Amino acid sequence: MTASARSLDYSQRFEGKTAIITGAGSGIGLATAEMLIQDGGRVIAVDLMEDRLKEAEARLGASYVPMPIDITRPEAAAQIVQKAEFKAEILVNNAGIMDGFLPIVELDDETWEKVLAVNTTAMMRLCRATIPHMLQMGHGAIVNVSSEASLRTCAGIAYTVSKHAVNGLTKHIAALYEKQGIRCNAVAPGGVKTNVGGNFRSEMAAQRLGPIMAATAPEMAEPELLARAICFLADDHGARYINGVILPVDAGWSVV
């Protein structure tokens, strides 16, 4: 082992860094916030549910900075970046909603627009608002939460399209801004134990997809397993040369 390798203290890998995390009041977002704070970071914790944020703040302390806001509002991205004092080195776009597994024939406009607004448009806006400040700092790490649904058919049409868009957003940012010190990657979770509703609203989809998913999907993951992968990709030491990757975190479901 070289001297430089011995000198790295990975227990404080995020010391002095500020991260923005959406959906940080519960599930994957909260687990990621906890891990970032444990490893020295400060988190701007964005969530729609103020009560969740207050509960987490009471437990995690001053490094967990709650920001209750609806990320689908056009002005939300600018307000979040301002809350981070225009110096977030890490952005974790985690917030997302499901679509009831609705196939295209059963899909209503309201579901389509809401899912795309949360899962894709809000993510794009926050990347667009954050990247200019990362460029000024000369570095930055973005981790987007995609889904197994971007790799196989295991959700409704709106959710599937939204997560394919997340992959495209991730790769495009990675390709264009790598030379300016910005990395952009994504994780693609399988089933995770969160409060994001995953019930079938379509009998046809339940009959078609239900048996396939029951036969192939692994056990639901704890949010901490996703947090480990997200923090790895956000770490400029461990993942310094990783950019534009869509990383399945699914116990191998994507290869079945």
Alpha helices by DSSP H, listed for the chain, are 3-7, 27-38, 50-60, 76-83, 109-116, 122-137, 157-177, 203-216, 223-234
Q: How far is CA 75 from CA 9, 35, 71, 81, in A?
A: 38, 29, 8, 11
Query: Rounded to an integer, what distance in angstroms lies between the CA atom of residue 70 and that of residue 22?
Result: 10
Residue 163 annotated in active site: yes
Annotated catalytic, 193?
no
Q: Which of 64, 83, 159, 202 is the catalytic position?
A: 159
With beta carbons less than 8 A apart as the criterion, state whether 81 and 127 touch: no
Q: What Å distances lie between residue 132 and 74, 87, 160, 203, CA to CA?
A: 18, 10, 29, 46
Of these residues, 26, 146, 147, 202, which one is catalytic? 146
146 tagged catalytic: yes
Catalytic position from the list 64, 163, 177, 202: 163
What's the rounded Cα separation, in Å, for the pair 202 and 156?
9
Angle subtended by helix axes 223-234 and 27-38, to nearest 10: 50
Catalytic positions, please?
146, 159, 163
